[in-house]
Copies of this chain bind each other. A is one copy, B any other.
Amino acid sequence: MSGWVTVAGLGPGSDALVTPEVSAALAEATDIVGYIPYVARVAARPGLRLHASDNRVEVERARHALELAAAGARVVIVSSGDPGVFAMAAALFEALEAAPEHQQLDIRVLPGITAMLAAAARAGAPLGHDFCAINLSDNLKPWALIEARLRAAAQADFAMAFYNPRSRSRPEGFARVLELLREACGGERLITFARAVSTPEEQLVTVTLAEATPEMADMRTVVLVGNSATRRVGRWVYTPRSA
């Protein structure tokens, strides 16, 4: 019995952004656990068991992975992007906290290219200086906390990256975010909508906050907002290192 659990980041979509470390873990696995579209990215091979589950069952999925490993399986939990950024790593440790009998298991977290950094690279360097990353979904936290963080970020002049900008359960939330940002940062601030970066469906657009509308984002979009010094140079957007 030498089971293990590895949480691996598959990056934003393209295989060219999957690290060799992650590819090696996938090649050694007996079991792949994850959200349906991420499991679908792993090539099938004889003897590899695929356990695809729906969204919003992250802790149950992590518990399942721990149980498989405890029984001797070599399990990779696949995550999009980086597992530590609004993805499966935190859910795994929540499951581990509730199941101390598994704490001696061989557990590893393998980093990946997270969506905001893939998007920033495509746009230029909009996160080129101090920045923050905020999950705009209020599935697991109160909306007031999201607004408080947005205000603090604007006041401190951080560049910002938003994950999950438009949730199905609260479609009006992102309109409120844009409104708050326009008040706090002014209408000229640059905002980039990056959808499905590194996939065939990739779309990237940069506008001002005055021009931005909620419909520019969907669940596959990561949103980047510049700080007060962020500007265009040619077809690029960047934040100077001195800002």
Contact = CB atoms under 8 A, between A and B. Distances in A.
A57 interface: no
Nearest to A127: B84
A31 interface: no
A13 B36 CA distance: 32
Given A18-B19, A21-B17, A111 B103 contact: no
A132 interface: yes
Determine which residue in A17, A91, A132 has the highest number of CB atoms from chain B within 10 A of its CB, and name it: A132
Interface string A8-39: 00010011111111001000000000000000
A9 to B, nearest CB: 8
A238 B93 contact: yes
Interface size class of A (residues with CB under 8 A): 35 or more
* Copies of this chain: 2
A121 B110 contact: yes
Interface in A80-108: 82-86, 89-94, 96-97, 100, 103-104, 107
Nearest to A19: B17
A234 B5 CA distance: 15
8 contacts: A17-B19, A18-B20, A89-B120, A92-B125, A103-B234, A104-B234, A111-B113, A141-B243
